[in-house]
Amino acid sequence: MSDCIFCRIARHEIPAAVVYEDEFVIAFEDINPQLPVHTLIIPKEHYEHIGDNVPEETLGRIFATVKKIAELKGLENRGYRIVANTGEDARQTVHHLHVHVLGGALMPIRMGPAD
């Protein structure tokens, strides 16, 4: 999708605070962080969500990158949360597969508005 904001970030058409990148994925800071660490990991190829026939290799790369981000951000011994919202009912706002890595503070029981 040429107009997808995450595709444009992956192509470096839109600036982002990139913390990790390889040929398959890119990880960057969320512009509206919910915790001190709030990094997004996306595949460079466009998939709407985790149920969009994503190849196992791509899913593996994304989740291998979670570990790298946790290490880069000093979370590996503190704990962190990973979230992948899928579809409207899950409040997915950008329809490009992405995983949130959240941490750096005690996790709230509920994050963000419920409505």
8 Cβ contact partners less than 8 Å away, ≥ 6 residues apart: 14
Concerning whether 38 is annotated as a catalytic residue, the answer is no
Phi, psi for residue 91 in degrees, rounded to 5: 65, 35
Instruction: Take residue 77 and report the two structure tokens written for it.
Output: 């011994």
Instruction: Considering the candidates 38, 46, 95, 98, report the single residue annotated as catalytic.
Output: 98
Determine the Cα–Cα distance for residues 59 and 54; give it in Å rounded to an integer. Answer: 7
Residue 78 CA to its chain's centroid (Å): 19
Instruction: Take residue 73 and report the two structure tokens written for it.
Output: 């951000």
Q: Which of the residues are catalytic?
A: 98
